[in-house]
Amino acid sequence: MQLGEKYKVTIDKITNLGLGLSRIDNFVVFTQNVCPGDEVEIKIDKINKHYANGSVVEIIKPSPHRVKPFCPMQKICGACQIQYIDYEYQLELKQKIVQETMDKIGGLDIKIPSPEPSPQIKNYRHKIQYPISQTKNSGRILAGYYKPSSHEIVNIKYCPIQPEICDDIIEYIRENAPIYKISGYNEVKHTGDLRHVVIRHSSYNNTNLIVLVVNDTKISSKYLNFAQNLSEKFKEISGVCINFNNKKTNVILGNETQCLCGADYIIEKILDKKFIIGAETFFQVNPKSAENIFKYVKNYIAENFKNPTILDAYAGISAFGICVSDISKKVVSIEENMKSVELAKQSAQLNKINNIEFNSGDAGKFLSNEKRKFDVIILDPPRKGCTTESLDSALKLSSNTIIYVSCNPATLARDLKYLKDKGAKIKSIQPFDMFCHTYHIENAAIITL
């Protein structure tokens, strides 16, 4: 194999990072924007010790599962990596990804079922985070997603995976921010005003919370006036906030957010519960698919327990705890982010729930110090998964069942292996397609002791 040379290959499978895998003389080659079964000509761009990276020169014979992307920007936008694959086959590929991950990393002898499909495969993404920049010559504001493996912004006027109103709001910001002397951010020079625009959209009442992330430390009249104008232009906007982030970092949000006008939250409804979602709080980006997960967890608990005590760890705004509160004797919630805890309390009041105990602090430390036993422990950690200390504590505190919800099959497999080696039984794993047209997949694992 030679760098820069062209080869004809057939794509064997999609990896858990969304890359097509093929082999040249038994040497693995990874390629973007391909589908299993594609016969393609590729050019070798990089050769590493154990694998190479290639790019598509020509699709000689397309896979029968290859379709025309419904978004014209799919090839250059990094958001929907596998939109060119028909949806049913996307689900099949994700099932295989989870199965292979559980086999190889987890060493688990368990059959993974087909993912629960998303009720919506368009207009499903209800949290939008657009980086902002500005052209050097014309001064035009650019807003969109980054091209794959770059920080070059694709200026997106229409995105079919998010609600249409979000396109309209972004376009208005793009056209009118310069009128208010608000400039786009220059990542290299660390200059300019507007770094990101974040939109939280509610499927419950079609309202939107706008967050202007600025390279600044204080509110000025240009931000206040622009926010007021934006709010008056769109009746669907519930409020406009400003977030200050003047650090040279890839982190989107800074530590301080203030409301410029209107409300600093939206309300979302999952099952029969309402949730207050703020600018900085975590909530699933696909509410309809999230509802499937909450229903799955709630049904399992209801069918197997009567009036249980439940621990909701890594709780965020206590979405799981609030959803299962009406089938529980008591729910104990633990979350590190104080703002999320406050919103969780407000959501509980909104739903007239009084059997949840809210705790603020590190989940791992809370688990290690807790003495009470729980019938069910729900773990919903970030992508990095749980620490071994947290898993040990969960085993100690659970009298029966652990439900582990994860957006990362690799760390889930790692943690399930640890629990299994400690004597727990991995009863089932159910995937849910939360992130249509991407290689990401959510899973809910049932673990019994």
Active site residues: 407
The amino acid that residue 153 corresponds to is I
Residue 73 to residue 203: CA distance in whole angstroms: 25
Q: What is the largest CA-CA distance in the chain?
A: 67
- HSE-CB for 153 with a 13 A CA cutoff: 21
**How close are the terminal C-alpha atoms of the chain, in Å?**
51
What ranges make up the beta strands (E) of 135-249? 141-146, 153-155, 194-201, 208-214, 237-244
What's the distance, CA 152 to chain centroid?
21
Residue 127 to residue 282: CA distance in whole angstroms: 10
What's the distance, CA 210 to chain centroid?
18
Residue 342 to residue 340: CA distance in whole angstroms: 5
Residue 148 to residue 165: CA distance in whole angstroms: 25
Q: Which two tokens stand for residue 89?
A: 């086959």
324 φ/ψ sector (left φ>0, alpha ψ -120 to 50, else beta):
alpha
